[in-house]
Amino acid sequence: MERDYVTIKIDVERNANGAAVAKRLRGERSGGIPWMVILDADGKELVSSDAPTGNIGCPVQPEEVAWFGEMVQRSSIRLGDDDVAGILVELEAYAKTQRR
């Protein structure tokens, strides 16, 4: 993932201005947390964790894992299909432990 992404975590309660930054990124969209957005180098939103069925949060259900894969496919530049497949294999392995 590091080849294409810089991960920044914003805690809306503990980070100074965290709520304001989250509001700027999320706008009026509602849903639970966690919530993710992938931006391009200019700060333009490419895709968010708001799937057609709602926010996927921490993806553990099969449809949530699939949407996360869609997020990566839509936004990756250097990651190949094998890289994305590997990410999804790892995520699905984690997700299975959470569904028990």
Summarised one tens digit per residue, pLDDT across range 20-38 is 999 999 999 988 899 999 9
- Whole-model pTM: value is 0.90
Looking at residue 100, its pLDDT comes to: 77
- Asked if residue 4 belongs to a domain, the reply is no
Element (H, E) at 84: helix 81-99
- Asked if residue 84 belongs to a domain, the reply is yes
- Asked if residue 43 belongs to a domain, the reply is yes
- Listed residue (99, 100, 32) closest to 65, CA to CA: 99
Residue 83 — pLDDT band, cuts 50, 70, 90? very high
Provide the domain limits for residue 51.
18-99
Check: CB of residue 56 under 8 Å from CB of residue 80: no
State how many domains the chain has: 1
Distance spanning both ends of the chain, measured CA to CA: 27
- Asked if residue 1 belongs to a domain, the reply is no
